A and B are shown apart, each in its own frame.
Chain A
Amino acid sequence: MKILVPVKRVVDYNVKVRVKADGTGVETAGVKMSMNPFDEIAIEEAVRLKEKGVATEIVAISIGVAACSETIRTALAMGADRGVLVETDMAVEPIAVAKMLKALVEKEQPQLVILGKQAIDDDMSATGQMLAALLGWPQGTFASKVAVENGGITVTREVDGGLETVALTLPAVVTTDLRLNEPRYASLPNIRKARKKPIETMKPADLGVDPTPRLTVLRVTEPPKRRAGQKVGSVAELVMKLRTEAKVI
């Protein structure tokens, strides 16, 4: 079975993000970029399925600027077999990504697409669901456990208040939650080998998709600074302050 894993290039999770001076977005110039951590979990799951003999090929896809090829190389070093870069300088939104992925699914004919549940830059958590809807495939989102058996896939989902297990027929879309696995990091020899693995490059137009944004960013601002707390001397004072100052009781 072939597995497609989309991977997104985002500001590294260790970096303290800064708002651009003109308020149009987040500063990315000279900032360390890495693979979205949830996508690392997706790659890891795909590699584990390949190691179990369930998957035969893993294709890592990234959509964005040319430097996204570095993110694909990371996926290749972790164990993906080949990469596809859809190159565009536009800021792509989930619906455009989902449409491009749909076109790639039709071309590649995988049995499974595993995505991160969300990217840590905009936290949209939309692409996987949109892709499943566009393809008309079943979806198992926020997966904390995945088992492929008897031609189907069982996905344990992390939902409010507990775990939900769903059985999906293949082909299917799965999105990964934090606890699905702990991704390996690539060994130095595998990083070397990944440099020789193939990456196919194309443009959104090759997939028949216009990635022009539909949303307009009005302004990006820093969250307000937390104000210092207050210490109260007694319960009575606390109740008084909650009533008169905070006005919550």
Chain B
Amino acid sequence: MSDILDAIEQFLARDVVMHVHGLEKADAYPAEIVERMKALGLFGATIAPEYGGLGLPCGQYAQIVERIARVWMSLTGIFNSHLIMAAIVGRHGTDAQKHEFLPRFAVGELRGGLALTEPDCGTDLQAIRMTAKRDSDDYVINGTKTWISNGIYGQCFALLVKTDLSAQPRHQGMSMFLAEKGPGFTVGRKLEKLGYKGIDSAELIFDDYRIPADRLIGGVEGFGLKHALSGLELGRINVAARGVGVAQAALDESVKYAQLRKTFGKPIAQHQAIQLKLADMATRTEAARLLVGRAADFYDRGIRCDMEAGMAKLFATEAAMENSAEALRVHGGYGYSTDFPVERFYRDAPLLVIGEGTNEMQRIIIARQLIERSPV
């Protein structure tokens, strides 16, 4: 694994670090870096080798996500949701779908992500309104998705729809399609955000979009919510790994700055007030990393890990929030300046506590699991 992480570090040092500040300020899509990511093989990281991927276990993949998030969290979004889409096809797709799509996903020729959220619902996925109606050999899709990562530059999305509006329970009327851009599938506006710059978060509009029935993932209606939820464990471990990356970056910048900045005749690292912060930041980061490693280990062994992934997501993303705020304080005025990277961590971290299931939702999942696993 160290050889793979070395290659990631090399990629970051040569092709990423020097561009982050400019791309972030301009909120510009990192097209050239994406080409390097394709050449590096990142878009196939967790796809099975038989389809041209690397087949990395989740534990190793999480380490890659962490390393990249330390340098620029936005980059991780470009392949995270792409790989969740690939994981859903790998687990639930028909053989024909696997053979048609996974090799193209693995080399990054066809990129995209998940399209679940709608203007009126995110956490409560069963409330989606997008419909797909059968019409001979096709389905016709109508509705709008929003906050879709890779929405502008991606070409293919795992799209959650309702195929039966009257089904009870509601999830039995939900299905998932692999939708490639084409007539009737247009991109609405690019969404402006506090942080997470560079990556395209967009609205996707479907207006009588016609899709062949063989793009229905798994070939059977009614399993859409199950498919979507199956990707969430991996998704949460992904986001947790990003949290560790941001927390570590905030710590690294603070440790460096605290040795350079002097007040009252000595580096601020020698003041107890700063030392207390650094110690807490480091401890949080290590604890978060261990939780991510544990959840990933469960995932790799095929053990149900919604509680463990939830704990990792909750703790690591809160660590990112707290560390970025503390880094700002350690840096003083320079922390508030856009010339230093810590303000970026401070703007990026909140996405992590909201996205991929809010942290409030994670607490509920954890509590439910605690009770389910220990009934009285």
Which A residues form the contact surface with B (CB < 8 A)?
Answer: 14, 34, 70, 73-74, 77, 185-192
Contacts and interface: CB of A to CB of B under 8 A. Distances in A.
A74 B3 contact: yes
B3 A187 contact: no
A187 B13 CA distance: 15
B14 interface: yes
Contacts of A74: 3, 6
Interface in B1-18: 3-4, 6-7, 10-11, 13-14
Nearest to B64: A188
Nearest to B56: A188
Contacts of B3: 70, 73-74, 77, 191
A74 B11 CA distance: 14
In order of increasing CB-CB distance, the 4 nearest A-B pairs are A188-B41, A187-B41, A189-B41, A185-B10
Interface residues on B, range: 10 to 19
A70 B7 CA distance: 13
A189 B7 contact: no
A191 B14 contact: no
A185 B10 CA distance: 7
B13 A191 contact: no
B249 interface: no
19 contacts: A34-B6, A70-B3, A73-B3, A77-B3, A185-B7, A185-B10, A185-B14, A185-B40, A186-B7, A187-B39, A187-B41, A188-B40, A188-B42, A189-B44, A189-B54, A190-B41, A191-B3, A191-B4, A192-B54
Given A70-B3, A74-B3, A188 B10 contact: no
A190 B39 CA distance: 11
A72 to B, nearest CB: 11
Contacts of B13: 14
Interface of B: 3-4, 6-7, 10-11, 13-14, 39-42, 44-45, 54
B105 to A, nearest CB: 14
A105 B54 CA distance: 36
A188 B4 contact: yes
B65 to A, nearest CB: 14
A120 to B, nearest CB: 16
Given A73-B3, A77-B3, A188 B14 contact: no
Contacts of A70: 3
Contacts of B41: 187-190
Contacts of A34: 6
A12 to B, nearest CB: 9
A191 B45 CA distance: 12
From A70, A185, A186, A192, name the one whose CB has the most chain B CB atoms within 10 angstroms: A185
Given A70-B3, A188-B40, 6 more contacts: A74-B3, A74-B6, A77-B3, A185-B40, A187-B7, A191-B7
Contacts of A77: 3, 7
A248 to B, nearest CB: 34
Nearest to B38: A187
Contacts of A190: 41
A74 to B, nearest CB: 7
Contacts of A186: 7
A74 B5 CA distance: 12
A15 B49 CA distance: 35
B60 to A, nearest CB: 10
Nearest to A195: B3
Contacts of B54: 188-189, 192
B44 A185 contact: no
A174 B3 CA distance: 28
A57 to B, nearest CB: 23
B82 to A, nearest CB: 15
A185 B11 contact: yes
B2 to A, nearest CB: 8
Contacts of A73: 3
Contacts of B6: 34, 74
A201 to B, nearest CB: 18
B18 to A, nearest CB: 14
Nearest to A14: B13
Contacts of B44: 189
From B6, B11, B42, B44, name the one whose CB has the most chain A CB atoms within 10 angstroms: B6
B15 to A, nearest CB: 9
A191 to B, nearest CB: 5
A70 B6 CA distance: 11
A188 B11 CA distance: 11
Nearest to A192: B54
Contacts of B45: 188
Contacts of B11: 185
Nearest to B14: A185
Nearest to B2: A70
A186 B40 CA distance: 7
A189 B14 CA distance: 19
A187 B6 CA distance: 11
Nearest to A34: B6
